[in-house]
Amino acid sequence: MDRRKSIQTIIMGAGASALMFHGCKTDTDMDVPVASDNNAYFGRTPEELERIEKLKAIQLFNEHEMETITLLSTIILPPKEPHGGPIEAEVPEFIEFIAKDIPELELTLKGGLMWLDHQCNVLFDQEFKTASVDQQKQILDTIAFQDVEIPLDEQPLEIQFFALMRNLTVTGYYTSKVGIADLGYKGNQPNIWDGVPQDVLDQHGVAYDPEWIAKCVDQSKRNEIAEWDENGNLLT
Amino acid sequence: MQIKEAPELYDVIIVGSGAGGGMATKQLADAGLNVAVVEAGPFFDPADPKTMTQLKWPYESPNRGAGTTRAFGGWDMAYGGWEIEGEPYTHEPGTKFDWFRSHMLGGRTNHWGRISLRFGPKDFKGKTRDGHGDDWPIGYEDVKPYYDKVDKLIGVYGTNEGLENDPDGFFLPPPKPRLHELFYINGAQKSGVPVIPGRLSMLTKRINKDRGVCFYCGQCSRSCSVYADFSSGSCLIFPAQKSGGKVKIYVNSVVREVTTNAEGKATGVSYVSKDDLKEYKLKGRVVILAASACSSARILLNSKSKQHPNGLGNSSDHVGRYLHDSTGASRAAFVPALMNRKVSYNEDGTGGMHVYSPWWGDNSKLDFPRGYHIEVGGGMRQPNYGFGFNANEFNKFFGLNVGGYGDVLRDDVKKYYGSVVHMAGRGESIARKENYCEIDPTTVDKFGIPVLKFNYRWSDLEVKQAKHMQDTFEEIIHNMGGEPLGDKPSADIDYGLLAPGRIIHEVGTTRMGDDPKTSVTNKFNQLHDVDNVFIVDAGPFTSQADKNCTWTILALSWRASDYIIEQLKQQNL
């Protein structure tokens, strides 16, 4: 395979470090993909790329709406060191895009933003974004806690709106570089799975069955070509 | 408009490049035959950085991996889906069938779950077993040598357990269970549900010098760029080309029909090129359809001629009939013992389950025939669009407020990360003559080709199976100390039994049998009516088992290919 490259050192998870302790050096020979030199593709088909460009050319939320979305996202998930918040995670840009990508979201978002300003005008004679933090929270507290016994789509629009904004903010943050760092997710990189670390097994009160584990892959032999006897017993 | 005919006479024309077409390509090209592969979609190589989605991060896409253009999420490697623009299908009112198509080199093998289960001895003899459906004209002993060869050629992890109807094979060693899988093992075993290591076609160990070894990113659905999972292009078609085989691939070519001569024998295929929307013809001595069970049936039904007025191979009027999919129902649970997890390690593992439950039931004590296996999912997965939705919904199990805003949401996300376990049952439905697809003469696709109309209803037997699944899931959830999510699917929604087609194991449309009056193909996947036409997708399945169909497609395609080579040698075709 031309596109394959072998690397000697990789960042390994805790499960694999135990292996390195027991194993030999060649265990770390791995076939890993070569990154694209043009990240603009991110694996899209030409039709998908065209669609994305079309959506990007449309401006769905006006400046005022974007300011309100930005403000609201940072109230929902306030920035926190060292991994920032919705702005560093480009949550407002993501919300602008996703509401075009999934058009069913648009009305709930636009209608909800209008409701926020209307409610704020009625109560405090000003737009939501210019109200004081206390005033903003006073309004949000009326819509931020949904009744779990009633399906969301049967609850008032403003409650649906807030639930949607919260979902989009949280998902937008935790799918960003800073959010994934905040979560601590260790995957999406080449590694060698060799089971759950002992301290994690202990924490959750479970253990591996030795008989089961005896059947599992011996990662120190992963690069030896498989051979079997005529009964299907692995020899290598 | 004049139809353009290529001058070359191929030994074999293969329509479709998924599991069945890929295997036929490999075997026939290796045997020195001159092969044309006709694929409706574009060229695709999992190793091409331009199309690759493996190891992408959600933030590389503006929609963070949402499944807007790909049904199983933005990174999934199936071009197509349940609905394809300009390529409709219709239904008999009151019936359901959802049809998943993927048009690209390698077809649906680029994204499939890689669950690779052999059918067992009982699975080939359904009628003998319980009176339902029909027996296959072949038995496990006929297919076993080919399963063995497929195991060794393609690679599948698993273990020899000596189970009667889940046969042993030539397995690569399985990966160790993940944390939630240990909970599942304990929960299932408490209820007497057996759990064994999963059987999936991913290389936990090297099988040859051309393919890489799994590096555990958990993303087989994105198609592996180092060829460590089974995809038809990377494991069958490219190797066939590399070893010097004569394989000409026609991409973006939608086959309209199989052409025939005055004697009624096949002479080749006609196709519409997506590039210029013109019609072309290819000539071949043998035509092999591997376009997927329903697409191949459609091609046959659209191949009407003076000699075959009812469509090719359809003198029995059985083409399209006995369409059946696996049953499927699922349930998810929140498991409090899986809260507050350490994120100190990478839990991606292989792109699928490390453990599963083969069918264990005794049908003499049950109100439905056949069975199902249980697939299990969960773990600390890569966040993508939808991650963190209803971040603290599980607060309700502790009497705490749901919703809110502020720093607490960060804690909630982490507290519940990886605490959900999913179970999915995949079972055997009974093949029925009344469930079928046919041509809808009122509708054509954008290439002017008449489309399929589906007529499919589940029976009580499948519904009862789904009920049993739900009861089992609830018991296992209880054993895990978990809280089932959502209401238990009730009778009015068939206990959560998904619409036919949803499991994407559709088979049976050109079923094999010894009697040409009640079957379309013989036991070598050859049309009864026309000896130089073969079907090597899941169409010839007399019955589906409670197993996924791919490993059997591969084995039968290899077996049919051997037969074709032999027949050509004897100049019988």
Cβ <8 Å between B344 and A36: no
Cβ <8 Å between A216 and B338: no
Query: Which residue in A has a C-alpha nearest to residue B385's C-alpha?
Result: A171
Give yes or no for residue B335 having a pLDDT over 60.
yes
Rounded alpha-carbon distances, angstroms, from residue B41 to B107, B254, B288, B446: 8, 8, 18, 14
Domain boundaries, chain B: 1-123+222-322+507-573, 382-415
* Nearest Cα to Cα of residue A100 among B195, B184, B63: B63
Q: What is the pLDDT of residue A30?
A: 80
The CA distance from A231 to the nearest CA of chain B, in Å, is: 8
Q: Write the DSSP assignment of B145-158 as a string of letters.
A: HHHHHHHHHH--B-
Burial (CB count <10 Å: 0-12, 13-18, 19+), residue A24 = exposed
- By the 8 A CB rule, do B157 and A218 touch? no
Rounded alpha-carbon distances, angstroms, from residue B162 to B83, B165, B462, B517: 42, 9, 28, 38
Residue range B16-25: average pLDDT?
Answer: 98
Residue range B420-426: average pLDDT?
Answer: 98
Residues within 8 A of A (CB atoms), B 230-259 only: none
B500 touches chain A (CB under 8 A): no
CB contact set of A215 (below 8 Å; sequence gap of 6+): B159, B173, B174, B197
Query: For the segment B526-539, what is each residue's pLDDT rounded down to a tens digit?
Result: 999 999 999 999 99
Residue A49: list chain B partners with CB under 8 A: none
B158-174 burial, b at 16+ Cβ within 10 Å, e below that, comes to bbbeeeebbbbbbbbbb
Which residue pairs, CB below 8 angstroms and at least 24 apart, start in B401-408? Answer: B401/A145, B402/A145, B402/A146, B402/A148, B403/A144, B403/A145, B403/A146, B403/A162, B403/A163, B403/A166, B404/A144, B404/A145, B405/A75, B405/A76, B405/A77, B405/A140, B405/A144, B405/A166, B406/A75, B406/A76, B406/A77, B406/A78, B407/A78, B407/A80
Residue written as tokens 């077993």?
B129
Q: Is residue A147 part of a domain?
A: yes
d(CA B302, CA B256): 7
| Total length of chain A | 236
Residues of chain A with pLDDT under 70: 1-29, 34-40
| Total length of chain B | 573
Q: Is residue A120 part of a domain?
A: yes
Residue B406: list chain A partners with CB under 8 A: 75-78
Give yes or no for residue B552 having a pLDDT over 70.
yes
Which one of 3.40.920.10, 2.10.70.10, 3.50.50.60, 3.40.630.30 gives the CATH number of domain B1-123+222-322+507-573?
3.50.50.60
Helix (H, G, I), strand (E, B) or coil at B501: coil
Residue B352: list chain A partners with CB under 8 A: none
Q: Is the dihedral of CA B35, B38, B42, B45 positive or negative?
A: negative
Token pair in block for residue A109: 């978002």
Q: Is residue A23 part of a domain?
A: no
d(CA B245, CA B106): 18
B383 touches chain A (CB under 8 A): yes
The CA distance from B227 to the nearest CA of chain A, in Å, is: 9
B43 touches chain A (CB under 8 A): no
Range of the domain at A127: 58-183
A15 touches chain B (CB under 8 A): yes
Q: What is the pLDDT of residue A22?
A: 34
- By the 8 A CB rule, do B325 and B544 touch? yes
Cβ <8 Å between A189 and B393: no
d(CA B560, CA B566): 10
Q: What is the pLDDT of residue B140?
A: 98
Give yes or no for residue B432 having a pLDDT over 50.
yes
Which among A52, A148, A174 has the least Cβ separation from residue B383?
Answer: A174
The CA distance from B297 to the nearest CA of chain A, in Å, is: 29
Query: For the segment B119-166, what is each residue's pLDDT rounded down to a tens digit?
Result: 999 999 999 999 999 999 999 999 999 999 999 999 999 999 999 999
Which among B59, B216, B342 has the least Cβ separation from residue A192?
Answer: B216
Chains A and B: how many Cβ contacts under 8 Å? 303
Query: Which residue in B has a C-alpha nearest to residue A151's C-alpha?
Result: B486
A234 touches chain B (CB under 8 A): yes
Query: For the segment B50-98, what is each residue's pLDDT rounded down to a tens digit?
Result: 999 999 999 999 999 999 999 999 999 999 999 999 999 999 999 999 9
d(CA B440, CA B301): 10
Cβ <8 Å between A175 and B65: yes
Query: For the segment B190-247, what is each residue's pLDDT rounded down to a tens digit?
Result: 999 999 999 999 999 999 999 999 999 999 999 999 999 999 999 999 999 999 999 9
- Number of independent structural domains in chain A: 1
Q: What is the pLDDT of residue B506?
A: 98
Q: What is the pLDDT of residue B219?
A: 98
Average confidence score pLDDT of chain B: 97
Return the ∠ at Cα B238 (arms to B104 and B226), rounded to 5°.
85
Q: Is residue A166 part of a domain?
A: yes
A195 touches chain B (CB under 8 A): yes
| Interface residue of B180, B381, B410, B411 to substitute, partner A, most A CBs within 10 Å | B410
Q: What is the pLDDT of residue B3?
A: 81
B369-384 burial, b at 16+ Cβ within 10 Å, e below that, comes to bbbbbbbbbbbbbbbb
- Least confidently predicted of A142-156, B270-284, B290-304, B463-477: A142-156
Query: For the segment B494-549, what is each residue's pLDDT rounded down to a tens digit?
Result: 999 999 999 999 999 999 999 999 999 999 999 999 999 999 999 999 999 999 99
Q: What is the pLDDT of residue B1?
A: 54
d(CA B16, CA A83): 48
Assembly ipTM: 0.95
d(CA B448, CA B393): 50
Token pair in block for residue A116: 């926020």
Strands annotated E in A46-102: none
Which among B173, B218, B348 has the least Cβ separation from residue A216?
Answer: B173
B529-550 burial, b at 16+ Cβ within 10 Å, e below that, comes to bbebbbbbbbbbbbbbbbbbbb
A94 touches chain B (CB under 8 A): yes
Which among B63, B337, B347 has the least Cβ separation from residue A204?
Answer: B337
Q: Is residue A177 part of a domain?
A: yes
Query: pTM value?
Result: 0.95
Q: Is residue A67 part of a domain?
A: yes
* Nearest Cα to Cα of residue B178 among A141, A216, A6, A176: A216
Q: At what angle do helices A91-101 and A46-57 cross, to 10 degrees?
A: 110
- By the 8 A CB rule, do B243 and B25 touch? no
Q: What is the pLDDT of residue A39?
A: 58
CB contact set of A221 (below 8 Å; sequence gap of 6+): A236, B205
B207 touches chain A (CB under 8 A): yes
B82 touches chain A (CB under 8 A): no
Give yes or no for residue B392 having a pLDDT over 60.
yes
B374 touches chain A (CB under 8 A): no
Query: Which residue in A has a C-alpha nearest to residue B75's C-alpha?
Result: A43
Cβ <8 Å between B69 and A51: yes
Q: Is residue A86 part of a domain?
A: yes
B62 touches chain A (CB under 8 A): yes
Cβ <8 Å between A45 and B79: yes
Cβ <8 Å between A36 and B55: no
Cβ <8 Å between A185 and B183: no
The CA distance from B486 to the nearest CA of chain A, in Å, is: 11
